[in-house]
Structure formats: C-alpha cells, structure tokens
Amino acid sequence: MLNRAVNYVKAHRLPFFIVFAVLVLAFPIIIPSNFVRGIAVRTVLYMLFASSLNLINGYCGHFSIGHAGFMCIGCYTAGLLATKAGLGFWLIVPISGIVTSLFGLLVFLPTNRLSGMYLSIVTLGFAEIVRIIVLNWTSLTNGPLGVKGIPSIKLFGLKLTSTTEYYYVILFLLVLSLFCMYRILHSRVGRAWMSIRENPDAACSLGVELAKYKAINFVVGAFFCGVAGCFMAFYYRYIDTTMFTIDESFNVLSMVIVGGMGTLVGPILGAFVINLITETFRFASEYRMLLYGILIILTMWIRPQGIAGASNSVLATKRMAKRVQSAAKAKRSEA
C-alpha cells in the first residue's frame, strides 16, 4: 500500500512539487508560532546535513557512519572564526566548507584500501577522535565549556534576529546546495561516482581512477556538511561537543536511510519524517528515543530502500533473501 502511494507521487511529480514548494516558502507566514518555526529551521538544517551524508553514502559505495565528525569540524570552524577572528557569516560559509572538506580528504586517506565494514568503523573512529580532541584542546576550543557568544548573521549590514529570517537563510543554503549537488551528479563526476558504486572493477577498467573519485566524493560531501555546520553555529549561538556524539552520527544516518539513500529527495523526506516524529513525541520525551529506535527497525523491515528509494534498487533486496530462505526451507522439508 505504501508502495502505491509512493508510486503515485512519483508519477505526479510536478504538481506535488509545486504544492510542496509553496508550502515551504510560505511556511513562516502561515504558521505564527515561533516555536514551530524553530522546529522548521532545525528540520531544514538537518535536511542539509542529511543531504551531505547522502552524497557520500548514496552515490559512491561508501558507508560513512561518523558524520558527526564533519559536523563538529564545520561548526567549530565557524564558531571559532566568528568569535576569535570576528569574521562575518557569509565569509565563513565557504571557509567552513573548505576546512571540513580538507578533513574529508584526511578521513578518506586511510580508508582507500578498505571496504565496507572496515571503512564504516574507521569513519566512526574518526568522528570520535575529532570529538575527543576538540573536547580536550581547551586552549583552542574552550574544551567542555564550548564556544559561546557566536554573533548572529548579518545580511547587508542588518542583523538577522527572528526565527523566520533564519529559516529563509537555511532554506536558501539548502536549495543552493541541492542545486549544486544535482548538477554534479548529472555530470561526468557523478557518473564516475555511480560507476564506482555499481561495479568498481568495471569502472576501473574504463579508466575511472578509483582513489581520486572516492576522495572527491568525500571532499564534496564534507564541504556541504561544513556549510551546514556554519549555519548551525550561527543559529544556536552556542556549541559544544555534546552535540556531536556517536548518537548524532546515527541520527543523521537514519534520516538518510529512512528517507532513501541514493536519491536527492530521500534525505529531505527522511529529515522531515524523523524530526516530525521526535518533535511530536516531545511530550513523551523519555520514550522518544525508544520510538526512534523502533522506527528505524521498522523501516528496515518494511521498506529497506527508504521512502524515496526505488523498489528495484539494490537496497530493496531484503525480500529476495526471504524468498530464497523459504524456498530452501521448502526443499529441506521435502528432502
């Protein structure tokens, strides 16, 4: 039944998109509650984080589970540059992106020869290393006290103060990033990435330099994460390492997976759904995480390719395993 709903939407893409775009743009005007607007800002921010992770995990065959490491770098770079060097938001955005992408390169280097599980474990290790170093390098980062007093965003000399204004900024960043991602994915670079994901041997035999393009993939994904991290620092005005734990990595990862890895719209949906659920159940805050865990497991059981994922994609093959097993069972019982 869910399948039919998804297929209906896919068949009527344009009208859905227009309605969606209008809702998104008019959102702060329609909903007067500042609390809800705050949730919206956070949700859109997560959409950008999830999209950046999706770029790494969904298109090049990597499976990074340590995204919080990149988030931490992006955030802290922005926070420190803002408080210690007094630079403005719009200047820091690209700097944050570049610094984080350098870290992306750093993370890639030892993972080049690794596959699958090992690569994932290393990404997790890296995220923790980053967090611990940032936590303990008190002279630079203020250690457990975090970075506070990050100024607000200035646009044409005017300080942005309301949640609505921040909403439009992050929306702008998201749309711009998605636009760039779309263009990259539909070019020689994107095709090289996907060829590596589908069949690295064949890709290599066709002249695709595996190491180079895997590295580029990490670098670009990390760049967009850095951009998002910069916004995060300027929105929350205060950051510390407790925001970048393993749980946070898993949080963003689950948004990508639940929404559909390997599609541009997947992480958007995933971030939306997960934030919707965690916010709706805020009143039952103790049970919130329990529900979250159950949601993840349910998604893997019912629709492992995620909401937006294609039913015939490699991610949906859980069902194949089930059919094979029941066939084997039938054979055993008649033997």
Partner 1 sequence: MYFVEQLINGLSQGAIYALMAIGFTLIAGEVGLVSFTYGDTVMLGAFSAYWACSLFAENFLLTVLFTILVSSLMSIVLHAVCMAQFLDAPKHISMICTIGFGIILKNAVQLIAGYEVKAMPELLGRSYFELGGIRIGYVKLYIVAIVIVLCAILSFLLNRTKTGVRLRAVSQDRKAASLIGIDVQRTTRLGNLIGCMIGGLAGLLYAIYYGSILPTMGGAISMKAMSASVLGGLCNIPVAAFAGLLLGIFENFSIALFPQGYRDLISFLFLILVLVFKPHGFEFRFKKHSRKEAEHA
Partner 2 sequence: MYILESRKVSKHFGGLKAVDQVDMQVEKGEIFGIIGPNGAGKTTFFNLCAGTYPVTSGEILFNGANTTNKPPHEMARLGLARTFQNIKLFDYMTVEENIAVGFHIHTRTNVFDAVLHTRRYKNDEALIRERTAEILEFVGLTPYAKVKASNLSYGIQRKVEIARALVLKPSLLLLDEPAAGMNPSETQELLTFVRKLNADGYTIVVIEHDMKFIMNLCDRILVLNYGKKICEGTPEVVKNNAAVAEAYFGKGLAVNGGNADA
Which residues in this chain contact partner 1 in the complex, by CB under 8 A? 63, 110-111, 113-118, 120-122, 124-126, 128-129, 132-133, 135-136, 245-247, 250, 253-254, 257, 286-287, 289-290, 292-297, 299-301, 304, 314-315, 317-318, 320-322, 324-325, 328
Question: Minimum distance between the CB of residue 262 and partner 1, rounded to whole angstroms?
Answer: 12
Say which amino acid occupies 289. Answer: M
- Alpha-carbon torsion 106, 108, 109, 114, what sign? positive
Q: Which stretch binds partner 2 (CB under 8 A): 25-33, 41-49, 110-118, 189-197?
A: 189-197
Residue 308, both tokens: 């937006």
Please report how close the Cβ of residue 203 comes to partner 2 at its closest, in angstroms: 7
**Distance between CA atoms of residues 196 and 253, nearest Å:** 21
Nearer to partner 1, 94 or 116 (CB): 116
Instruction: Give the nearest distance from C-beta 279 to partner 2 in angstroms.
Output: 34
Site string for partner 2, 304-323 (x = CB under 8 A): ------x-xxx---------
End-to-end Cα spacing for the chain: 37
Place of tokens 């263009």: 183
Q: Which does 132 bind (CB under 5 to 8 A by kind): partner 2, partner 1, none?
A: partner 1
DSSP for 152-202, written as a single string: PPEETTEEP-SHHHHHHHHHHHHHHHHHHHHHHHTSHHHHHHHHHHH-HHH
Interface pattern 191-210 for partner 2 (x via CB under 8 A): xx-xx--xx-xxxxxxxxxx
Separation between Cα atoms, residue 311 and residue 302, nearest integer Å: 11
Minimum separation from the CB atom of position 209 to partner 2 (A): 5
Does the footprint of partner 2 cover residue 51 (CB under 8 A)? no
> How far is Cα 52 from Cα 228, in angstroms, rounded to an integer?
9
The minimum distance between CB 332 and partner 1, in angstroms, equals 8
Residue with tokens 């300027």: 234
Among 102, 184, 295, 296, binds partner 2 (CB under 8 A): 184
State how beta strands 154-155 and 158-159 pair.
Answer: antiparallel
* Among the listed residues 94, 121, 52, 96, the one whose alpha carbon sits nearest the alpha carbon of residue 129: 121
Q: How open is the CA angle 19-22-24, to the nearest 5 degrees? A: 105
Identity of the residue, 282 or 322, whose beta carbon is nearer to partner 1 in the bound complex: 322
Nearest Cα to 270, choosing from 44, 13, 3?
44
Question: Which of residues 6 and 194 has its CB atom nearest to partner 2 in the complex?
Answer: 194
Q: Indicate which of partner 2, partner 1, none lies near residue 208 (CB less than 5 to 8 Å, by partner kind).
A: partner 2
Using CB under 8 A as the criterion, which residues of the chain lie in contact with partner 2 when the complex forms? 180, 183-184, 186-192, 194-195, 198-199, 201-210, 216, 220, 310, 312-314
